[in-house]
Structure formats: C-alpha cells, structure tokens
Amino acid sequence: MNWQDVIAQLETGALRAATQDENGNWHANVEVKQGILAAFKAGENIAFGDNYLGFVDKHNLPARQFTPEDGVRLVPGGSSVRAGAHVAKGVIIMPPAYINVGAFVDTGTMVDSHALIGSCAQIGKNVHVSAAVQIGGVLEPIGASPVIIEDNAFLSAGVVIVEGIVVKKGAVLAPGVSLSKSVPVYDCVNEVMREKGAEIPENAIVVPGTRPVKGDWAQAQGLNMACALIVKYRDEQSDAALELESILR
C-alpha cells in the first residue's frame, strides 16, 4: 500500500496505527507506520499560504480542514489536526490543542486546551483529555506500540502518558499523574505492585505518589521518587463526580 492510501485511510478511520486482538491486547500496525514514515520521506518543506500563512511543513501533511458535516467541533484559537489523523464525529477540540499524524480519536471525546495527542496514539470513545494532558507519540522503532487510552477514561489536568502505556476502559487519572515504562504502579486496593510500564486496569482511580529511593545515603537524605498509586476503583459516587464534564457539551 502506498503512503497516499495510508494517509487517506487513516483519516477516515479505515486504517489504524494499532489494533486490538480478541484477547484485548494492542499491537502496532507496522504497515501503517511504514506508510507514515514513507510520507515524511516523500514530503518537501513548503511555506503554506492562505489559512496557514507563515507556517512551513511537509507539503503532503498539511493541517486538516473540517466542515459542520464532519460533526467535529474545532473551536477557534490555534488548534491543529495534522493530515493522517482520524477525528470522529462528536469530538470537541478546545484551543490550543494538537493531534498528530496517525492518531485516532473516537466519538464523543473531549480534547481540552494545551493538550497533545502524539503520532499514532489511540484514544477511545467518550474520553476526557483535560487541559495540558500530554499523550506521547511513537513512529520508531517501527514495532513499538503507541499510547492507548480506551473508552470512557478520564485524564485530569497535567497528566503525562508516554512510551506505549495502555490505560484501560473507565480508568481515571488524577491531576499530575505521569506514566511511562520506568514508573511503577502500586495497587493499594489489591496490595500488589504492578510491573513498571504495566497497563492501568479498568476503572482504576490513579493518583500521583512517591516511594523511597534505595540506598543508605538516599534514605538518609529522605529522597523519594515518583510513582503512581491506584487508590480505589470507580463506583457510583466517583461516576457522579465525572458526569459534571458533560455540561461542556
């Protein structure tokens, strides 16, 4: 498949940069990522005019344009959705926000101000991406899986998720939570430490925490490192609190 077809089908949602198997596990779509890289290689930097006056980028990956028929609410103020990104009906994008090539944003999701959805990141239905959330992208290595945020997750302000972390359905991340392959997750409900880089389970409520640094000297200094804590799982009370964001729609 040539890169032109890959970019076009990514925009319609016919192709995705990562897919989920019957067991719920996510896998990178290598052919799609190869197509995106081929588009970068084929692209030439040009100065854009008209609506993009003063901007320079690859000629074949311009910012997307939307119409009311697309069903996407792109509020004025500096947001941009790059070519090759899928934005489904019912998505709201508040300014300024950026959605990069290969990303997939499903129906009913809110992307708030200063949020970044990186290349190939996969965002499910009815996800709330709050202000200043940073969702990392990945094109290389070619087989690396991007960040996955499943349906009905709630990412509070300032959350950072990188390095292919998977956030399962209904999970809630409190303000300031950072997740990467090097950050351990402690499940205080089930009293277990999940492996570094492990996925966040369904309906988990996660808050930022700290843990002591190993070593006599570090402990004598009272040093701590960041971690993430699962403090509870969603119930009716927590769901009611999250319903407040629906007013924005």
Helix or strand holding residue 34 (H, E): helix 30-42
122 within 8 A of 103, measured Cβ to Cβ: yes
Q: What pLDDT is attached to residue 61?
A: 95
**Residue 96 belongs to some domain of the structure:** yes
The Cα–Cα gap between 158 and 117 comes to 13
**Residue 14 belongs to some domain of the structure:** yes
Query: Per the structure block, which two tokens stand in for 79?
Result: 């947001």
**Residue 246 belongs to some domain of the structure:** no
If one counts every other C-beta atom within 10 angstroms of the C-beta of residue 204, the result is 25
CA angle 94, 17, 126 (to 5 degrees): 40
**Residue 244 belongs to some domain of the structure:** no
Q: What angle separates helix 30-42 from helix 3-12, to the nearest 10 degrees?
A: 120
**Residue 179 belongs to some domain of the structure:** yes
Q: What pLDDT is attached to residue 122?
A: 98
In which domain, by residue range, is 59 found? 3-184
**Residue 32 belongs to some domain of the structure:** yes
The CATH number covering residue 124 comes to: 2.160.10.10
230 within 8 A of 188, measured Cβ to Cβ: yes
Q: What pLDDT is attached to residue 53?
A: 66
Q: What pLDDT is attached to residue 48?
A: 83
What is the 3-state secondary structure of 46-96?
EEECHHHCCEEEECCCCECCCCHHHCCEECCCCCEEECCCEECCCCEECCC
**Residue 199 belongs to some domain of the structure:** no
Number of domains the chain is built from: 1
Q: Which residues pair with 63 in a beta bridge?
A: 82
**Residue 95 belongs to some domain of the structure:** yes
pLDDT tens digit at each of 249 positions of the chain:
899 999 999 999 999 999 999 999 999 999 999 999 999 999 999 998 776 667 899 999 999 999 999 999 999 999 999 999 999 999 999 999 999 999 999 999 999 999 999 999 999 999 999 999 999 988 888 888 899 999 999 999 999 999 999 999 999 999 999 999 999 999 999 999 987 667 999 999 999 999 999 999 999 999 999 999 999 999 877 676 665 455 444
Beta strand pairing call for 224-233 and 204-212: antiparallel
Task: Give the residue among 26, 11, 22, 9 at the shortest CA–CA distance from 150.
Answer: 26
